[in-house]
Structure 1
Amino acid sequence: MTTVHVDDITLGIESFGDDDAPLVLLAGGTTMLSWPDALCARLAAGGRRVVRYDLRDSGRSTTRDPEAPAYTLRDLAADAAALADALGAGPAHLAGIGVGGMVAQVAVLDHPGAFSALTLVGTRAVAPGPPDDDLPDHDQATTSRLFARPLPDWADREAVAAFAAAGAEILGDDPAAARTVAARIWDRTPSTAPPVQMANQMGMVFSRLDCTPRWRERLAEIEVPTLVVHGRRDAFFPVGNGEAIAQEIPGARLLILDEAASAIPDAAVGEVAEAMLALG
């Protein structure tokens, strides 16, 4: 793991594979660890240079004030394009997961020359908040359970890991995997201050981020090969969101993971990697 300076910020990155291979850039959702190690390794074994990175206010990237971010979704999209340019590999295959998928959609729309392909995992085509009437919202019973829990002591690594494991169980993800990832995220978080931990562990900075203007109406402008991956059991961004994206991006392929929820499970890594490599 290292950092790259782009414009006036620092982005934390981790690289896999040959530096001269075609670049696959993985936008975190919000940290790079949203992308499984095994998937990064499979993509690298398929002849790709894989770089996963932390969004601002997470991991090793610039962290200032997650409660009052002085940047917008458009700035995060520009970060992706600037990072692809800084890595010097020509147009990159950009992938985003969760809120990172929102970043990736806007990045390809606003900076089309920077990217050669697009993968979107477990995301939707509208900003955080109420969705469009034709899109399914978060499952209310699930989110009520998820957000009714008392927050952990953010200075207690084990308490944070246990909190993440319990949340994964509610969402239908693997609690053991979530516990391990949360502990790794805690180790990389620059502060135990609650706003910083919540930005890293829960992505709460996105609830305060300026995500205007809308971009859903522009999805038909995307011309690069696109893969949309969605878990059929995803209660946070239900599968109808992925189906809508795939319908609105010309030629997009939809890959539904029947046994997955919001995270990419180990059992699906090979299938997802194969589909991503097929984009070029």
Structure 2
Amino acid sequence: MTMLHADGIDLAADRRGSADAPAVLLIAGGGQSMDWWTPEFCDALSAGRLQVIRYDHRDTGRSAQSPPGRPDYTGDDLVTDALRVLNAFDIERAHLVGMSMGGGIAQALAVGHPDRVASVTLIESSPAGGDHGSLPGPTPAVAATWTEPPPAIDWADLDSVIDYRVDVERPYACPERFDEARVRHIASLEVRRTANMESSMSNHFVAAPSGGVDPAMIAAPTLVVHSVDDPMFPVEHGKALAAMIPGSRLLRLTGVGHEVPPPHTWDVVLPAVRRLVSESS
């Protein structure tokens, strides 16, 4: 784990693999620390041939914190943070792998900073702008998480916060395939590493959003990874991305929710990402 200090911002990052190898930057989803990109995932992706970098967004893990409900940053700042990480490691061009909100950040970087982006992998994401037509909304269970009052949480009670973090993930899982033991393990790591979980669970969603970009303007080679069982962004979102981005490829998954690809998909997902990186380096 490395603490980066860039432009007055503290960002926690973890780099695995040789600094001389092609760089893959993993960008987590909203309210997620780097812990959701597990070390096992990173090492399996690297396969001894890539350097894989993961980092904590602001208000997650060990990165800079704001008071709950009052983020001192915008969505555009979260985009720039990814560049700050690359700059801190002296990386000119990287292969971006973004999950959900992280996919939106990857799209913004690929359009706004094409010279820094070697390839793009968009996982369970949605078009960040452009003419994508009408797309279906989330399942009722996911939509309810935005409208129902949050439960009363004692943020000083570690076990209660971990239980809550697990429950937050539950409606985003593939129906009948919620791996509670695995999610609880990751949530426990995240809660123990994060200075203020109340901020972590809210601030990304109340920060001023970044300006939209048209995915059709992405010139970097692109892989879209999307599950037919995603309850947050139904598979039509992935199909729209693949249709909009010139030359992109769509990899459909089954039995996966709105999540970083779990271990049972790695034999399909990781070779596809490594192939894209190899062809684009």
Structures share fold, TM-score greater than 0.5: yes
How is 1:128-143 mapped onto 2 (pairs within 5 angstroms)? 134-143=134-143
Give TM-score, length-normalised by structure 1.
0.87
CA offsets 1:110-158 (integer angstroms, 9 cap, x no match): 111111011111121248xxxx861121212343268646243222222
Cα distance in 1 for partners of 2:114, 2:222 equals: 13
In 1, Cα distance between equivalents of 2:72 and 2:169: 30
Whether the 8 Å CA contact 1:165–1:176 is kept in 2: the answer is no
Moved more, 204-213 or 103-112: 204-213
3-state SS of paired residue (1:79): helix
The SS at the match of 1:118 is strand
Q: Which shows bigger deviation, 109-118 or 139-148?
A: 139-148
Instruction: Give me the whole-angstrom Cα distance separating, in 1, the residues matched to 2:228 and 2:72.
Output: 35
> Relative CO higher for 1 or 2, CA cutoff 8 Å, sep ≥ 6?
2
- CA-to-partner distance for each residue in 1:149-208, whole Å, 9 max, x for gaps? 6243222222222223334343333222111111101111113xxxxx1443x4x22321
Q: Is 1:85–1:114's contact at 8 Å kept on the other side of the alignment? A: no
2:272 is aligned to 275
- In structure 2, the gaps of 5 or more residues are none
Quote the Cα distance in structure 2 between the aligned partners of 1:40 and 1:85: 20
Trace 1:208-223 onto structure 2 (pairs within 5 A).
Answer: 208-215=206-213, 218-223=214-219
> Where does residue 38 of structure 1 map in the other structure?
40
For the 8 Å contact 1:161–1:178, the answer to whether it is kept is no
Aligned match for 2:253, one of 226, 247, 257: 257
- Aligned residue-pair number: 267
Structure 2 length-normalised TM: 0.87
What is the 5 A alignment of 1:58-73? 58-73=60-75
Matched AA of 2:184:
R
2:121 to 116, 119, 122: 119
Q: Paired residue for 2:103?
A: 101
Identity %: 34
Q: Which amino acid aligns with 2:252?
A: I
8 Å Cα contact 1:146-1:167 kept in structure 2: no
2:163 & 2:71 partners in 1: Cα distance?
28
- Aligned-residue Cα RMSD (Å) equals 2.1
Task: Note the C-alpha offset of 1:260.
Answer: 0.4
Q: Which of 233, 238, 243 is the equivalent residue of 2:239?
A: 243
Which amino acid is 1:179 matched to? Answer: R
Q: Which amino acid letter does the alignment assign opposite residue 17 of structure 1?
A: G
1:40-93, Cα deviation, whole Å (9 max, x unpaired): 011221510001011112111111235222322222212212321221233100
Q: Tell me which residue corresponds to 1:225.
A: 221
Distance in 2, Cα, partners of 1:74 & 1:190: 23
Sort the Cα spacing of 1:27 and 1:142 in 2 relative to 1 into closer, same or farther, 3 A: closer
1:120–1:229 CA contact under 8 A, matched in 2? yes
Aligned residue type for 2:183: A
Q: What is the distance in 2 between the residues matched to 1:207 and 1:169?
A: 18
CA contact (8 A) 1:57 1:66 kept: no
1:178 maps to what in 2?
183
- Displacement, 1:39? 1.8
